[in-house]
Amino acid sequence: MDEKESEQRREKTQTRSFGAGNRISHDASGYYESKLYSELPRETPFEEDQALPDDLRNALILADARSMKQIPDRSVHLMVTSPPYNVSKAYDEDLSLREYLELLEDVFRETHRVLVHGGRACINVANVGRKPYIPLSDHISHIMTSIGFLMRGEVIWNKGAGAGVSMAWGSYKSASNPVLRDVHEYILIFSKGGFGRDAKGRENTITKEDFMEWTKSVWTMPTESAKKVGHPAPFPVELPRRLIELYTFKDDVILDPFMGSGSTALAALTTNRQYVGFEIAPEFAERARQRIDRYLQTGDTGGKAPPKVESGQTPIDPTSQDQATADSDSL
């Protein structure tokens, strides 16, 4: 082999070299400088984190998350939520699509404000309807990038055989009008300001096996029982638990602006993180508080994720703190 051929063999591959075997020392810089990326949000200069006040650590706040003025800028490390679907379930307002998306935009702008530089936002969403189909995941992705979030990717949540599949066949066994029956939802994943966070002095808790499995873009896990949890659209504790362990360090702060039945709070406690959550419906806030209390007393999450609190460590009891604020009630 001559010197020229040797140099060619050592040359870095480019992103356009799809199918190239053993793409070691891959150089994607040219791809990300292309026109395809020219109009998308860019990483921004680093800004220092701020501390979340002690009285908001492990707090469930009965208030509208369109204003999270209790929370300082850059004091939350991860947001995990599943917005209400606005499809005439008992706890939803009857909003137009435009009004619904405006509500979400207000909440996610506040989320952007309170996240640290490099903090992540993970949104579980199901698309709805058939006449026509409403791709809420697409609408939310557009909202998030217009705010300035950097999209990291998406996970397909395959709800498996236990999914409550709609029996709206359309035209049964006929090409007249067959209807697709969803057995999946989306988890949209974004970052604020930058993709990375400094790991110095911080402790990871994820195992090698879980990291290898959870960085795949399809997760298969069963749904949560609405009757068991006492909420019309709960997600399993396992879902936020995976996101928390994958995207945060021990003792980080997790926000859920639509707390619902409290699954995100439980996932935070079981992984040695702290939570702050908002819920506007008193009955669901009370149900979340009951689930949290039960976990603190018994270790039972009422869901699919096993408890993971370290031996000898007691999670902070949200009912023992003074959570009063000027414009909201805390539970």
Mean pLDDT of the chain: 83
Q: Could you tell me if residue 19 is inside a domain?
A: no
Q: Could you tell me if residue 167 is inside a domain?
A: yes
Q: Could you tell me if residue 163 is inside a domain?
A: yes
Residue 147 has pLDDT above 60, yes or no: yes
The string of pLDDT tens digits covering residues 33-57 is 888 888 888 999 999 999 999 999 9
For residue 47, what pLDDT is reported?
94
Structural contact between residues 246 and 238, judged by C-beta atoms closer than 8 angstroms: no
Q: Tell me 320's DSSP state.
A: G
Q: Check residues 325 and 184 and name the one with the higher pLDDT.
A: 184
Q: Check residues 227 and 330 and name the one with the higher pLDDT.
A: 227
Angle at the Cα of 46 (from 43 to 51), degrees rounded to 5? Answer: 125
Q: Could you tell me if residue 6 is inside a domain?
A: no
Percent of the chain with pLDDT over 70: 74
Domain total of the chain: 1
Q: Check residues 202 and 18 and name the one with the higher pLDDT.
A: 202
CATH of the domain at 221: 3.40.50.150
Confidence class for position 3, pLDDT limits 50, 70, 90: low
Q: Could you tell me if residue 8 is inside a domain?
A: no
Q: Could you tell me if residue 51 is inside a domain?
A: no
**Least confident segment among 62-66, 179-183, 253-257:** 179-183
Residue 293 has pLDDT above 50, yes or no: yes
What's the whole-model pTM score? Answer: 0.81
Angle at the Cα of 94 (from 90 to 98), degrees rounded to 5? Answer: 140
Beta-carbon contacts of 290 under 8 Å, excluding residues fewer than 6 positions away, are: none
The DSSP code sequence of 28-65 is: -HHHHTSGGGTTS----------PPPGGGTTEEEES-T
**Domain range spanning residue 283?**
56-330
Q: Could you tell me if residue 28 is inside a domain?
A: no
Residue 21 has pLDDT above 60, yes or no: no
Q: Could you tell me if residue 35 is inside a domain?
A: no
For residue 94, what pLDDT is reported?
78
Which strands sit side by side in the sheet containing 76-81, from one edge to the other?
A: 218-220, 150-158, 184-191, 115-125, 76-81, 253-256, 274-279, 59-62, 329-330
Averaged over 222-241, what is the pLDDT?
70
Confidence class for position 161, pLDDT limits 50, 70, 90: low
